[in-house]
Amino acid sequence: MEPESLDWSMENCTIARAMEILGERWTLVILREVFSGVRRFEDVRARTGMPRQVLTNRLAMLVEQGVLRREPYREPGSRARHEYRLTEMGLGLGPVLIAVLDWGDRHLADPEGSPLRVEHRECGADVHVELHCERGHPITSPREMALRPGPGAHRPPT
């Protein structure tokens, strides 16, 4: 028996659309830096070792897509430059980065642990992503979830 998902087109899949923006390694690394408060080109480049042209291209794409915005600044005696700040769309990626961090910490961390943690500013406790359904039931395993057609689903052309 074929899976039900084969009955639905994935041409307008929002996961695929999101991955067009996020699907390249350096993109999430840039977002990690901006979420950490590192906003200037040279600082991001120095912390990541990213090639200059790759960083230029990724920043331009993130600005074009509405994830980041450019803010001008000027150091005394220097030309005007830009910092990169998260937009509302960019801030919405916080849980995604935390989920990737949690996954990496569970499966890929060095023996001494993760070099990064996310802390609740108010109380100092670690922040983690937790899943629950609209009715509040906790989801503790992917086996408790099922992908189903949503309101934007379409049948593939026959």
Q: Flag whether 158 is in a domain.
A: no
Helix (H) or strand (E) run with residue 44 in it = helix 41-48
Say if 76 falls within a structural domain: yes
Q: Is residue 149 part of a domain?
A: no
CA distance 158 to 153: 15
Is 151 inside a domain boundary?
no
At 94 the pLDDT is: 97
Residue 78 lies in a domain: yes
Q: What are the DSSP calls for 20-56, one per residue? A: HHH-SHHHHHHHHHHHTT--BHHHHHHHH---HHHHH
Structural domains in the chain (count): 1
7 vs 38: which has the higher pLDDT: 38
CATH code of the domain covering residue 49: 1.10.10.10
Tell me, yes or no, whether 70 lies in a domain.
Answer: yes
What mean pLDDT value characterizes the chain? 94
Full-model pTM: 0.86
Structural domain harbouring 107? 4-144
Does residue 103 sit within a domain?
Answer: yes
| Inter-residue contact 127 to 98 (CB < 8 Å) | yes
Q: Residue 96 domain-assigned?
A: yes
Instruction: Name the 3-class secondary structure at 32.
Output: helix
82 pLDDT tier (thresholds 50, 70, 90): very high
What percent of the chain is modeled with pLDDT above 90?
79
Gyration radius of the chain's alpha carbons: 19
Question: Residue 128 corresponds to which tokens in the numbers above?
Answer: 């983690």
83 sits in which H/E element = strand 80-86
Q: Flag whether pLDDT at 153 surpasses 90.
A: no
